[in-house]
């Protein structure tokens, strides 16, 4: 059989002819699944969601609360309740739908490989309720290269599509509705034409083979992680020689061949994607017998950089023992409550081991192993303040009214004006400034 070619197979008269009342099922209503389902409902499709987490489903079915924080998401859920449905019965989601989006988690294993347990469970449900139903199965979860071959036995005569997500936490709704590009990896003409019907009003939709789509997802995140790690290393150099990394970033990013995105230094990347996906890409390449020195060095660089500001400040004060340290920000970035692989958690562990009295504040995020406080309580008489998350509320906060006179402000996000901070009698340590 000739290899399927999306470029030539979606140009027929039936391409994109699907009606707007196409019924869509979504398995998994975590971050990606709930944003995907809600935005598809906003586009006019009828969507039914299922998840094994009974507490989460109960909240969504009763409308008590949105289980994740994402700007505009709660508003859009309420707006689209006529098209957006939730069920705790998989048959009602899978059997009823024409298209099934799989949006379950793919966490990292200790060796860097992807834990496919949730994907397999979702595919088991497809196998049980729709193995030979001729549906279109759309994989949104980030899965390793070669996953389609692995899942063939579960798919039956259903069409398979890999449609990776490129959602930034805090901007996920915007990114879904106004994407830079949409990548669709297809295995047959039915799947390709169905996705044309879903994305017919979107610009820059790329139809490729499934393996290429899988690589695009991992390569994109690895490239962005590389830019962050690179600029964090440059920030350390700027601190050493007295340069300003913000000016360096502006100068480098003004080159059209490079561009300004992801050239802002910080405490080290975290979250649900970059750490997991860089490790998974290294594992995949190693399994294929290919060396990956660049990606491996990015991972090492990021892990090392998470300790940089801790070491920088400790060198100035000798020890954190018995010092009160305020950590502002627990989430790995602003506008999310996600603390996965957050640099703040790494910092808090090191401070505690060095004997510091640690007080943490975040306006939204929490963690079962970390006590959080009101911002005034966290700052009161602090010897050192680490600014770890770029929350808007921190930018103009009068730190000098709460902390000790002469306290150190370790601005890991470069939120503050150095002269303004120093004019209040505080010591300013910036990231590359």
Q: Kindly tell me the sign of the dihedral angle through the C-alpha atoms of 390, 170, 181, 27.
A: positive
Sign of the CA dihedral running 355, 357, 362, 364 = positive
Active site annotation includes 273? yes
Q: If DSSP codes are grouped into helix, strand and coil, which group holds residue 265?
A: coil
Q: Of 134, 138, 50, 135, which Cα lies nearest the Cα of 92?
A: 50
Strands 46-50 and 205-209: unpaired
Q: Give the Cα separation of 264 and 269 in Å (integer).
A: 11
Measured CA to CA, the distance from residue 400 to residue 427 in angstroms comes to 10
Return the structure tokens found at 16.
């994109």
DSSP state of 134: -
Distances (CA, A) of 253 to 274, 414, 431: 21, 17, 18
Q: Is 100 exposed, middle or buried (0-12, 13-18, 19+ CB in 10 A)?
A: buried
Report the C-alpha gap between 269 and 225 in whole angstroms.
Answer: 7
Cα 183 from Cα 168, distance rounded (Å): 16
Q: What angle do CA 177, 179, 184 make, to 5 degrees?
A: 105
CA distance 106 to 88: 21
Which residue among the candidates 39, 273, 282, 412 is catalytic per the annotation?
A: 273
Cβ contact 274:266 at 8 Å: no
What region does 264 belong to: left with phi over 0, alpha with psi -120 to 50, or beta? beta
Q: What strands, in cross-sheet order, belong to the sheet with 159-162?
A: 84-87, 46-50, 23-27, 99-102, 136-139, 159-162, 182-186, 205-209
SS3 per residue for 307-342: CHHHHHHHHHHCCCCCCEEEEECCCCCCCCCCCCCC
For residue 232, give the 3-state DSSP assignment: helix
Residue with tokens 């799947």: 191
Phi, psi of 427 (to 5 degrees): -95, 135
Q: Which residues are catalytic?
A: 273
């Amino acid at each position: 059989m000739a290899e399927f070619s999306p470029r030539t197979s979606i140009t027929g008269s039936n391409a994109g002819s699907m009606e707007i009342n196409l019924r869509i099922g979504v398995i998994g209503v975590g971050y990606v699944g709930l944003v995907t389902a809600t935005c598809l409902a906003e586009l006019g499709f009828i969507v039914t969601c299922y998840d094994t987490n009974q507490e989460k489903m109960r909240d969504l079915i009763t409308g008590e609360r949105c289980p994740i924080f994402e700007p505009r998401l709660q508003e859009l859920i309420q707006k689209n309740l006529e098209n957006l449905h939730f069920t705790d019965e998989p048959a009602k989601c899978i059997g009823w739908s024409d298209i099934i989006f799989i949006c379950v988690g793919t966490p990292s294993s200790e060796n860097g490989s992807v834990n496919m347990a949730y994907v397999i469970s979702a595919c088991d449900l497809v196998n049980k309720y729709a193995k030979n139903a001729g549906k279109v199965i759309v994989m949104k979860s980030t899965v390793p290269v070669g996953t389609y071959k692995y899942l063939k036995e579960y798919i039956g005569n259903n069409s398979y599509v890999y449609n990776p997500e490129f959602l930034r936490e805090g901007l996920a709704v915007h990114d879904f509705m106004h994407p830079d590009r949409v990548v669709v990896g297809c295995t047959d003409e039915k799947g390709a034409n169905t996705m044309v019907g879903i994305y017919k009003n979107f610009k820059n939709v790329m139809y490729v083979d499934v393996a290429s789509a899988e690589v695009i997802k991992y390569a994109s995140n690895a490239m962005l992680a590389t830019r962050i790690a690179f600029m964090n290393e440059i920030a350390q150099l700027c601190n050493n020689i007295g340069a300003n990394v913000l000016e360096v970033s502006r100068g480098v990013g003004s080159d059209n061949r490079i561009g300004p995105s992801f050239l802002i230094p910080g405490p080290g990347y975290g979250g649900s994607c970059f750490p997991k996906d860089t490790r998974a890409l290294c594992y995949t390449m190693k399994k294929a017998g290919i060396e990956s020195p660049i990606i491996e060095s990015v991972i090492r660089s990021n892990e090392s950089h998470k300790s940089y500001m801790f070491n920088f400040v400790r060198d100035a004060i000798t020890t954190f023992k018995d010092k009160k340290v305020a950590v502002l920000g627990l989430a790995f970035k602003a506008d999310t409550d996600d603390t996965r692989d957050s640099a703040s958690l790494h910092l808090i562990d090191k401070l505690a081991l060095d004997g510091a009295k640690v007080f943490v504040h975040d306006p939204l995020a929490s963690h079962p192993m970390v006590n959080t406080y009101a911002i005034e309580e966290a700052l009161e008489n602090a010897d050192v303040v680490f600014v770890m998350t770029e929350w808007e509320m921190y930018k103009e906060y009068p730190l000098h009214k709460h902390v000790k006179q002469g306290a150190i402000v370790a601005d890991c996000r470069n939120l503050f004006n150095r002269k303004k901070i120093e004019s209040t009698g505080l010591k300013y340590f910036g990231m590359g400034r």
